[in-house]
Every structure is written in structure tokens, then in C-alpha cells.
């Protein structure tokens, strides 16, 4: 019998038994090797912080149940195809599936993991896909001065990708000085907010805090833009649109992974780009915690309550 992790009600998780359907000719049966907890979003879901107006928008592709619970939620899953079309049989694949020991989905819902990307790193594919979309939204230019505020999984990934543009100045900004180690591993300059470089052409905000958004606007040069990636859930946020906002002709633009930021690319192509980028071992710095699948009900409350500081919590599964 297979098992899945459910949020029974806000703040309480449990493992439930699952009966899998028989795979059809165009389906795959995937045995999970590892999954990842996207800390910001999944902690919000675990706490019951998804506002009613966003219940449909926030649905994961293979979510069961509804907010605030019971709900089976998650979207970072890597496994091996046990049954399916010949070109996928035995392949390691990524899927936007919740935490579950095995599952059946359409073959079109999985993306083969390149041979040079370890399964444990491939759980970051959904996060790096979000970062790819943000960079497409941000449209950085040669020589731009850039800050990324918030050194979580997404912010750190964005900073890593932006640092590859020629002649750019990229700085990763966070209130936690210990995130300097993550920035160093990614090859990116780091600063605390009060010491961050100003006169930025572009600031990507991913701290999900009012203070972070305020600082993002303060760091902009005239005609500069903030790309807002933060998801605030049911929290109200004040935006300082006085002071220099109008005189400097500043802009704030939203970025959300639900829409592909380039009309000439599909969801599948964007995911393939993310997995290709994960060949870089530097991304391992984002996986800073690990637990067994059976321990997830006791570990997730600690993660949501900030008792654990893992950027990405990797969940490992016992082989069958």
C-alpha cells in the first residue's frame, strides 16, 4: 500500500494510505526517490495561510483536497518510472507531484532528468523553473546593476542565474548574515539590507516582507524596476509610493510561475531549461536539510515554525 503526506488541518500533518489506479497506455507509474519541501509556499499552506480568494490560483497540479485542509500539496518530486511508454521506462523523472511514495500520472506530466543531474538535486527543478521565469520577466541588460532581496530558495536561484549575465553587478541581500555562505557557494556577492549597493537598475524582491519591498524601492536608480516575486498569502502589505517613487519614475511588476513569461516558450520547454541548469553542482547549496518521508508529519511543523532553517528540505524515500 502506498502512502501520501496530507495537511489534515492547519498545523497538523499525517500520512495516509493511497490506492493507485491502474496505469493506462499513456500513463506512467512513478516510484518516488525523493521530494522537496518548498519552504515558503508549503509552510504557508501548512499554517492555513492561503486566502479564500486565492484557493483556485494556489492549487498545485496534482493536489487533492482543498485549502485549508485536508489537502495533499506539493510540487517537487523525483522518481523512477516503473511502468510506462518504452521511452520513459526506467528513466529518472521530475514531476510537479506532492509527497507520495508512488503515483500514476499522464506521461506528458513528467520530465526526464538529464544524466548529469543527480536525483537529489533534481528536486530543485520547480524552484529553478520559477527563477528562470523571473529572469525572463526581469529582462536584464548588459551591464545592469542588480540586487536580489531574499536569499531563500527562489531568491538565491534568481541571483545565481542573473550572475551569469556579462558585466552585471549582482548582489544577494538578506537580513540573515549566515546566508552569506549560500551566496558564496553560488558565486554571488552578499550583503545585509543596510549595506546593500544602491543605484540599481533592477531589484528582484523575494523576501515576502514589507521591509524587503520597501528596501527594494530604496535601492533603485531613476527609471529602475522592482520585479516582485513574493507571495504574501493573507497578509496585508503597505507599499511606500510616496517619497521618490514618482519623481524617479520607479516601477513594480509582478512575476508568477503560473504564466510562462516568454510567449515563444512552453511550460515543458521552461522545465527542460531548469533541469539543464541543475547540472551545475553549485545549486547543492540550496539543499540544506533532509528527512525521511515517514518523519515528514513531525518535521514540517518545525520548518513552518522556523525551528529549522533549511532552504530546501529534501525528503528521502525507502526503496521498495
Q: What CATH number is given to the structural domain containing 76? A: 3.90.180.10
Judge if 87 and 188 occupy the same domain: no
Residue 213 lies in a domain: yes
User: For residue 253, with 0-12 CB atoms within 10 Å meaning exposed, 13-18 middle and 19 or more buried, which class applies?
Assistant: exposed
Domain count, the chain: 2
User: How does pLDDT run across 16-48, given as a tens digit for each residue?
Assistant: 999 999 999 999 999 999 999 987 788 889 999
pLDDT of residue 236: 80
Residue 269 lies in a domain: no
Output the average pLDDT for the chain.
93
Residue 217 maps to which CATH number?
3.40.50.720
pLDDT reading at 150 higher than 80? yes
pLDDT of residue 41: 82
Residue 266 lies in a domain: no
User: How does pLDDT run across 272-315, given as a tens digit for each residue?
Assistant: 999 999 999 999 999 988 999 999 999 999 988 877 767 889 99
H-run or E-run covering 110:
strand 110-112
Give, in degrees to the nearest 5, the angle at Cα 269 between 267 and 273.
Answer: 115
For the chain, what percent of residues have pLDDT higher than 70?
99
Q: Is the dihedral of CA 312, 82, 61, 13 positive or negative?
A: negative
C-alpha cell at 16: 495516509
Task: Quote the domain boundaries for residue 64.
Answer: 2-124+278-316
Judged by average pLDDT, the poorest of 164-168, 234-238, 246-250, 286-290 is 234-238
- Is the backbone of residue 167 left (phi > 0), alpha (psi -120 to 50) or beta? left
pLDDT of residue 233: 67
Judge if 137 and 106 occupy the same domain: no
Judged by average pLDDT, the poorest of 76-85, 217-226, 231-240 is 231-240
Residue 263 lies in a domain: no
Residue 234: pLDDT band by 50, 70, 90 thresholds?
A: low
Note the pTM of the prediction, 2 decimals.
0.89
The total of other beta-carbon atoms located within 10 Å of residue 217's CB is 21
Amino acid at each position: 500500500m502506498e502512502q501520501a503526506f496530507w495537511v489534515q488541518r492547519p498545523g497538523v500533518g499525517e500520512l495516509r494510505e493511497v490506492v493507485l489506479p491502474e496505469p493506462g497506455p499513456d500513463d506512467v507509474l512513478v516510484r518516488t526517490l525523493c521530494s522537496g519541501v518548498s519552504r515558503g509556499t508549503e509552510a504557508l499552506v501548512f499554517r492555513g495561510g492561503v486566502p479564500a480568494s486565492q484557493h483556485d490560483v494556489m492549487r498545485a497540479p496534482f493536489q487533492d483536497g482543498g485549502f485549508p485542509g485536508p489537502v495533499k500539496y506539493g510540487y517537487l518530486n523525483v522518481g523512477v518510472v516503473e511502468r510506462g511508454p518504452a521511452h520513459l521506462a526506467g528513466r529518472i523523472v521530475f514531476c510537479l507531484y506532492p509527497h507520495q511514495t508512488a503515483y500514476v500520472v499522464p506521461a506528458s506530466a513528467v520530465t526526464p532528468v538529464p544524466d548529469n543531474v543527480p536525483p537529489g538535486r533534481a528536486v530543485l527543478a520547480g524552484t529553478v523553473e520559477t527563477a528562470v521565469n523571473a529572469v525572463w520577466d526581469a529582462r536584464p541588460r548588459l551591464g545592469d546593476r542588480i540586487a536580489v532581496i531574499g536569499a531563500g530558495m527562489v531568491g538565491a536561484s534568481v541571483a545565481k542565474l542573473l550572475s551569469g549575465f556579462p558585466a552585471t553587478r549582482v548582489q544577494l541581500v538578506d537580513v540573515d548574515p549566515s546566508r552569506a555562505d549560500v551566496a558564496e557557494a553560488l558565486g554571488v556577492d552578499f550583503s545585509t539590507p543596510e549595506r546593500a549597493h544602491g543605484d540599481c537598475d533592477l531589484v528582484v524582491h523575494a523576501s515576502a516582507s514589507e521591509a524587503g519591498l520597501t528596501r527594494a524601492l530604496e535601492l533603485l536608480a531613476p527609471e529602475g524596476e522592482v520585479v516582485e516575486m513574493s507571495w504574501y498569502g493573507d497578509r496585508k502589505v503597505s507599499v511606500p509610493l510616496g517619497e521618490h517613487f514618482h519623481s524617479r519614475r520607479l516601477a513594480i511588476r509582478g512575476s508568477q510561475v503560473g504564466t510562462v513569461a516568454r510567449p515563444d516558450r512552453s511550460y515543458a520547454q521552461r522545465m527542460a531549461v531548469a533541469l539543464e541548469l541543475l547540472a551545475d553542482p553549485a545549486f547543492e547549496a540550496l539543499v540544506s536539510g533532509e528527512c525521511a518521508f515517514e518523519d515528514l508529519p513531525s518535521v514540517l511543523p518545525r520548518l513552518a515554525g522556523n525551528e529549522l532553517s533549511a532552504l530546501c528540505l529534501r525528503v528521502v524515500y525507502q526503496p521498495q
